[in-house]
Homo-oligomer: A and B are copies of this chain.
Amino acid sequence: MSQHISFVQREELKNKPSSDALGFGVHYTDHMFVMDYEEEQGWHDPRIIPYGPLTMDPAAMVFHYGQAIFEGLKAYTTPDGTVQLFRPDRNMKRFNQSCERLHIPTIDEDFLLNAIQQLLLKEKDWIPTEEGTSLYIRPYVFATEPFIGVRPSKQYKLLVILSPVGSYYGDQLSPVPIYVEEKYIRASVGGVGEVKTAGNYAASMKAQKEAEAKGYSQILWLDSKENKYVEEVGSMNIFFKINGEVVTPELSGSILNGVTRNSVIELLNYWGIPVREEKISIQEIFDAHARGELEEVFGAGTAVVISPVGELTWKDQTIQVNDKNIGPLSQRLYDTITGIQFGKTEDEFNWTVQVDEVRV
């Protein structure tokens, strides 16, 4: 796919937020990438245009039948002023896996990555440079055909929008309390839990709100069949360090194959720390804690990188992990992954991809 990407420059550029007021997902850059799909033409008319409102028919299928998928990755600035992406090939691949599962036409992965890079080139002044800040990249597709009937849409829109974001934690990692959900279910094997489709997140809102009301910052989901095996957390995969060994739920078909999860596993292997992907019951975790063997628990995802878990509540039991302190492995993983992402630690794995020509 080697279509030319057209460009329409915004007339008046926006004011950029100051780096201490970035937040997460509230500011968008001057331009966006857009492309359309029509059955006869396939994906066509790739363009970079001013960020601005979309015109949607009220019958557009996304509003009714929810065919919508997305990805999330970041662009990081390095000390020498280059800009880089972290394992973007994995996001491109998962983008298409999500498309396939939702019966949305896939797109050439190299083309999409190239489009993202071209958009980054245009928006290079938006890439924040303060410690811990980055430019969040959101590629997504949704159904636009105006048709009220349950079948796949024949028209879609693919967009990439960019949002400068602060560090999730400020300067310091801080362990969070997590609620083990036993009433609501996120996804089941045979469903769409292993892809990034809009409906998965919609389905999680109520449980998330109820947990927040009880004072928890996130939910740990259990499996739908037996309601006893650990799945994942909101927008993170989960890891447990028990008696010197690390375990994480296997890719069962109902959890996301996280880029950060995979990076953690590869780093642990490289460091010679035992790590296993397997079915893990929540009971085992509580048992390990009772034996004094639960050393660390942490989540892993693009937004937070590594998020130490300080407390786990399941039914009426609450356990504290590592006295609610940041564990040394969590810290080491956070430092190493962010070090590689921001070009401060040597990238022995070839995980980073330079965005050609961009210097900030």
Contact = CB atoms under 8 A, between A and B. Distances in A.
Interface of A: 24-26, 28, 32, 51-59, 62-68, 70, 100-103, 136, 138, 140, 142, 146-152, 159, 161, 163, 183-192, 197-206, 208-209, 224-225, 227, 234-235
Contacts of A198: 62-66, 198-199, 202
A235 B150 contact: yes
A58 B161 contact: yes
Contact of A199 (B55, B66, B208): B66
A191 B185 contact: yes
Contacts of A58: 28, 32, 51-54, 159, 161
A150 B55 contact: no
B197 A189 contact: no
A140 B61 CA distance: 12
Contacts of A32: 58
Nearest to A235: B150
Secondary structure at chain A's binding surface: helix, strand, loop or mixed? loop
A190 B224 contact: yes
Contacts of A68: 62-64, 66, 202
Contacts of A234: 150
B224 A25 contact: no
A226 to B, nearest CB: 8
A65 B224 contact: no
A156 B205 CA distance: 15
Given A25-B59, A65-B198, A188-B191, 19 more contacts: A24-B149, A28-B59, A52-B58, A62-B62, A62-B63, A62-B68, A62-B198, A64-B201, A66-B203, A100-B206, A102-B203, A103-B209, A151-B205, A152-B209, A185-B191, A188-B188, A190-B227, A197-B199, A198-B202
Contacts of A140: 63-64
A24 B150 CA distance: 11
Nearest to A147: B25
A202 B65 CA distance: 5
A197 B203 contact: yes
A186 B197 CA distance: 14
A222 to B, nearest CB: 9
